[in-house]
Structure 1
Amino acid sequence: MNTYETRLRAREDVADGTMAFHFEKPSGFSFQPGQAIDLILADPGPTADSHVARHTFSIVSAPFQDEVVIATRMRDSAYKHALKSLPIGAAAGLEGPSGSLTLHRDRGRPAVLVAGGIGITPFISMLRHAAREQLPQQLLLLYSNRRPEDAAFLAELNQLERKNRNFRLIATMTQAAKSNRRWEGETGPIDEDRVRTACSNLSAPVFYLAGPPGMVEGIRQSLNDAGINDEDIRSEEFFGY
């Protein structure tokens, strides 16, 4: 993989405890929607070892955009503290792209995207790209969070659904009663019954899973139990994000 130099353009809150970081897109850098980068900080913090000077992040931005954007839960770690305090204009290293969680090329087969929490990041890139390119492929996203406040990019996803007639969003909250916002959408976890109902009108879909390891493994097992072969299931587990 190639390593590039980039600089921080901007940062923003995209959900409670979740921030997005906008970096310059280096000359010659290209990627496919769903891929990731390693972001390398020159100074990861006084208590950090050299091996934590880098972190892998899915790319939120789409290939047609002129920046590289990542988003992450702001956990209490030396790396995350250093990232949050990085001055605008500061240099960083970008290594990549990496990863194979990319949309299949058979546009006749639908794609079912299942995201838990910050696992939404690779799918944002895919959905932006699909809307821009007007892909004929049917896309279904099942997106689970505790509360609406925790759901990064939810407003944009609603806009993308209105923009792309081939995209359908099902957002669900597992702790909606604890929200300070009114929620009239679905509630409860993404389980086998919810997936089966959502996919009932789709022919031979390919499944993409991204989120906490427990959620990813549980959905994969449910799909296997329903007769879905492993070659039609692609996944990425998000540890400690």
Structure 2
Amino acid sequence: MESYQLKILDKSVVTHDTYAFKIEKPKGYTFVPGQATELSLLKEGWENVKRPFSLTSLPKDDFLEFTIKTYEDHEGVTKRLGNVQVGDKVEIGDAWGAISYKGEGVFLAGGAGITPFISILRDLRQKNEIGNNQLIFANKTNDDIILFEELKTILGHKFQNIIENQKDTAYDQGRIDKEYLKENINDFKHQNFYVCGPEGFIKAVNGALKDLGANPEALVFEK
């Protein structure tokens, strides 16, 4: 596995706790939309602490981008990334991952689980191939919705939000459970389902989808 030491070119705010980082792109670096790589911060004591992050740029861009949610209450890589500056360096490896586009379907994301879908949806939009794809995005509050405006532009009314911890939200309230899936998805047998989020979210959503008749072969997620 190759490794690349690269400079941060740009850091921009996406939400109250999420940033987009543009970094240098090594010559010949390739990935498929939906894939991830391991990243470490080249700061003393953190060089060997590697964490997987999804690439959110497009394969043909002349930079690499990562959209990363930071966790201030946890002394880890994401908290450190929240404090990095343009010009700081990171190390990444080659791209890997099981999440890639297999055809039209429903994208189901929990929180930062939206990140592998960003590159896929941007790529489909560029190709004018959004078609009937649908996104259901679960978050704790309205302020946690990553790239709301862009996702709304890409998907229009096929972009649904469900909020768990905010009573005055204008969106659906609750969690993505079997009942919610039943109410919001028309066809379980003949389309793909792309699932990403915390481990418990993936397990619960995949279980509900199978119970509702989804083909296990049509579930696309990081195993």
Equivalent position of 2:5 in the other structure: 5
Aligned residues: 221
Indicate how the Cα distance of structure 1 residues 200 and 156 shifts in structure 2: closer, same or farther if over 3 A, else same. same
Equivalent position of 2:35 in the other structure: 35
Letter in 1 for 2:139: N
TM-score computed with the length of structure 2 as normaliser: 0.89
SS of 1:143's equivalent in the other structure is strand
Letter in 2 for 1:185: Y
- Which blocks of at least 5 consecutive residues in structure 2 are unaligned? none
Overall identity of the aligned pairs, in %: 26
Cα separation, 1, equivalents of 2:52 and 2:187: 36
SS of 1:37's equivalent in the other structure is strand
Cα separation, 1, equivalents of 2:187 and 2:78: 42
Letter in 1 for 2:198: P
Runs of 4+ in 1 over 6 A off after TM superposition: none
Structure 1 residue 202: deviation in Å?
7.0
Structure 1 residue 159: deviation in Å?
1.4
Structure 1 residue 90: deviation in Å?
2.4
Cα separation, 1, equivalents of 2:32 and 2:39: 17
Equivalent position of 1:88 in the other structure: 86
Cα separation, 1, equivalents of 2:40 and 2:9: 16
1:103 pairs with 83, 101, 104, which one? Answer: 101
Is 1:118–1:211's contact at 8 Å kept on the other side of the alignment?
yes
Equivalent position of 1:172 in the other structure: 162
Residues 55-91 of structure 1 deviation map (CA, whole Å, 9 limit, x = unaligned): 1101112223332111222123242343233331223
SS of 2:207's equivalent in the other structure is helix
- 1:67-86 matches, within 5 Å, as 67-75=63-71, 76-86=74-84
Structure 1 residue 136: deviation in Å?
6.0
Between stretches 16-25 and 112-121, larger displacement belongs to 16-25
Is 1:64–1:129's contact at 8 Å kept on the other side of the alignment?
no
Aligned Cα RMSD in Å? 2.2
Residues 80-131 of structure 1 deviation map (CA, whole Å, 9 limit, x = unaligned): 3432333312232221111020011xx4xx2211000000001111110000
Cα separation, 1, equivalents of 2:77 and 2:134: 34
- 1:41-190 matches, within 5 Å, as 41-43=41-43, 45-46=44-45, 51-52=48-49, 54-75=50-71, 76-104=74-102, 107=103, 110-135=104-129, 137-162=131-156, 168-177=158-167, 183-190=169-176
Indicate how the Cα distance of structure 1 residues 148 and 126 shifts in structure 2: closer, same or farther if over 3 A, else same. same
SS of 1:128's equivalent in the other structure is helix
Is 1:103–1:111's contact at 8 Å kept on the other side of the alignment?
no
Cα separation, 1, equivalents of 2:135 and 2:83: 33
Is 2:98–2:221's contact at 8 Å kept on the other side of the alignment?
no
Indicate how the Cα distance of structure 1 residues 98 and 161 shifts in structure 2: closer, same or farther if over 3 A, else same. same
- Which blocks of at least 5 consecutive residues in structure 1 are unaligned? none
Equivalent position of 1:235 in the other structure: 221
Is 2:35–2:116's contact at 8 Å kept on the other side of the alignment?
yes
Indicate how the Cα distance of structure 1 residues 175 and 84 shifts in structure 2: closer, same or farther if over 3 A, else same. closer
SS of 1:97's equivalent in the other structure is coil
Equivalent position of 1:216 in the other structure: 202
